Amino acid sequence: MLTNHKSRFSVFRTILLAFFILQGVSTSCLAAGEMSTGQILREAMQSLQRQEFDEAIDYMSMYTDLAVNSKSDRVLIIAQDVRYKLASLLVIRDRKAEAAEVLSNYIDRPFAKRMRQAHKMRVACYLDSEMYAECLSAAESAMEYNENPPPMAKIPADVDDPFPDDAVEAATNYNEPYKPDEIEMLYFAIADSHFGLGQMEECIESYTYVIENTVNQQRKGYSIMQVVNALTALEAFERILAWVPELYRTPARYDIRVNIALLGVASALYEAGEYDSVLPLYRMI
């Protein structure tokens, strides 16, 4: 009897707890719905200062959704600054596919003061999310932007940037061309995207650009290995042996994954009857 009483009490307590949780959620949603855009932005900034990033993301998303139909340039300018910060927070929270979508909205709208960085971030987000078709398109768009950046809509001097720590970068490098290492990373993203899409012949040119221009020996080794993998898939065995010695001159030769991949190449050469090519390859592994 006592057991049944405790059981009923436990069920009642669970129901009561659920009631209060749901009531709290309902009240919170109602409160958020009643806020002005200014209040929502203040809540977002306060959450950001407390490093409560998920909460800040929710408020920033709410703000940009409400501001999208505004006729006020001031609101649209601030919304763009918020949109960029929102994407940055999504990256921090490892929600990179969502960040890429936000960055696309940012790039497609006027008053994008951080366009240069936004293009690069979007490419990196798509690549890290293995969204290769989107990454390829984003990287090509970044290249096009670099060659011919569109003029930015004039921003009135009396509209303050809500994120002043980022304002200096936004003001100084809108039209600055990408540096060689940034161009290299765009080519790397293009190459990896082609490879991820199974476009083996297409990836080789971009990997070759990385190989010829990077100072990062690990990246060079990885790119050579990917070229070798692509040529293996294409059964272009006569072209493989020109690359393997290049690979062996990089630190990548110590990577067990590279050696396993080379074993696969050697096996493919053997099965194709390319016996003269197999022996020197085994000696390198």
User: 79-92 pLDDT, tens per residue?
Assistant: 999 999 999 999 99
Q: Which residue has the higher pLDDT, 25 or 258?
A: 258
* Mean predicted confidence (pLDDT) in 145-161: 83
| Whether the Cβ atoms of residue 227 and residue 204 lie closer than 8 Å to each other | yes
Query: Is residue 200 predicted with pLDDT exceeding 60?
Result: yes
Cα separation, 107 vs 104, whole angstroms: 5
3-state secondary structure labels for all residues of 210-253? HHHHCCCHHHHHHHHHHHHHHHHHCCCHHHHCCCHHHHHCCHHH
What's CA 114's distance to the chain center, in Å?
A: 16
Angle among Cα 139, 110, 90 to the nearest 5 degrees reads 55
The predicted model scores a pTM of 0.80
Q: Which tokens sit at 147?
A: 């060659």
How confident is the model at residue 246, as a pLDDT?
78
Q: Which residue has the higher pLDDT, 234 or 265?
A: 234
How confident is the model at residue 174, as a pLDDT?
67
Cα separation, 162 vs 144, whole angstroms: 29
